[in-house]
Amino acid sequence: MEGIVLDIETKQRISRVFIYNTQNDEGGYNNTKGEFSITAKPGDILIAASEGYFPDTIQVTGRRTLIFQLRRSSIRIPEVSIILRRNPEEVRKEKQEEYSTAYTKGRSPLLTVGPSGAGLSIDALYKLISREGKNARRLQEILERDYRESVIDYRFTPELVGRTTGLEGEQLRDFMLQYRPTYYFILSSSEYDLVFYIRKSFVQYQRNPHARQLPPLKNGTDQ
């Protein structure tokens, strides 16, 4: 299949657009004239994505020429909802200060250096094997996990996902739960990468809205 990519407002051709076929996981960039060629058949769903534009999705039909029309991501919108989200790093520092005792107990150095040389710290060894030390380290693990989840929430927001997919309410919550990105993906991805991931995941969600849902909890009395 062949096609072109246009700016929806100016009707000018856009180059360096990545065209992706969700059916066969194949893709590539269009040329400097905005033209592209891709292996696809009727029914396949294609995504066009370029930095500075919202991705566009079309389904292949019997038409010989495909036309993507991308809208700039810097457009003004009639209504803006402003939601203040605290930086995860600030929250993390506050929790570290609030639970400073636990942090200290959980990370006491085992090796000490004194006048007679290096040796094991009896105090640190006791804390390591004591219930108090174990509880402190457990708290550290919980705080670290909460921090990582807050980093994901800071970027993977209902506003961004809803604007990208058009989902609302329970469907939006269900989609975000099933396709929640990992902490390491969020750290390494740009805004462009994140939007592309959301659009790609939304295509999969449309095919099967229940693909990633967790199975219902079994009743404790069931055998």
Stronger pLDDT, 89 or 175, i.e. the higher one: 175
Same domain, 161 and 146: no
pTM above 0.75, yes or no: no
Q: Is the pLDDT of residue 216 over 70?
A: no
Q: Is 218 contained in some domain?
A: no
Same domain, 94 and 118: yes
Instruction: Give me the pLDDT at residue 85, please.
Output: 61
Instruction: Give me the pLDDT at residue 78, please.
Output: 45
Q: Is 109 contained in some domain?
A: yes
Q: Is the pLDDT of residue 66 over 80?
A: yes
Same domain, 43 and 104: no
Q: Is the pLDDT of residue 33 over 70?
A: yes
**What tokens does 77 get?**
């919108």
Could you list the residue range(s) of the whole structural domain that residue 19 is in?
2-72
Q: Which range has the top average pLDDT, 52-66, 73-87, 195-209?
A: 195-209
Q: Is the pLDDT of residue 1 over 80?
A: yes
Q: Is 82 contained in some domain?
A: no
Percent of the chain exceeding pLDDT 70 equals: 66
Same domain, 15 and 64: yes
**Number of independent structural domains in the chain:** 3
Of 72, 106, 133, at which residue does a domain stop? 72
Residues 91-100: contacts with CB within 8 Å, 24+ apart? 91/147, 91/150, 92/143, 92/147, 92/150, 95/143, 95/146, 95/147, 96/143, 99/139, 99/143
Same domain, 93 and 121: yes
Instruction: Give me the pLDDT at residue 111, please.
Output: 45
CA 134 to chain centre: 32
Please give the span between the terminal C-alpha atoms of the chain, in angstroms, as a whole number. 54
Stronger pLDDT, 154 or 141, i.e. the higher one: 154
Instruction: Give me the pLDDT at residue 136, please.
Output: 55
Q: Is 141 contained in some domain?
A: yes
Q: Is 196 contained in some domain?
A: yes
Please give the Cα distance from 65 to 2 (Å, whole number): 5
Instruction: Give me the pLDDT at residue 204, please.
Output: 93
Instruction: Give me the pLDDT at residue 77, please.
Output: 44
Buried b or exposed e, range 168-196, using 16+ CB within 10 angstroms:
eeeeeebbbebbebeeeebeebeebebbb
Same domain, 63 and 116: no
Of 105, 123, 150, at which residue does a domain stop? 150
Q: Is the pLDDT of residue 79 over 50?
A: no
CATH for 32: 2.60.40.1120
Instruction: Give me the pLDDT at residue 63, please.
Output: 76
> How does pLDDT run across 81-127, given as a tens digit for each residue?
444 466 777 766 766 665 555 455 445 454 444 454 444 455 555 55
Instruction: Give me the pLDDT at residue 53, please.
Output: 83
Please give the Cα distance from 53 to 55 (Å, whole number): 6
Same domain, 143 and 167: no
Same domain, 195 and 171: yes
Q: Is 212 contained in some domain?
A: no
Of 72, 104, 119, at which residue does a domain stop? 72
Q: Is 219 contained in some domain?
A: no
Q: Is 34 contained in some domain?
A: yes
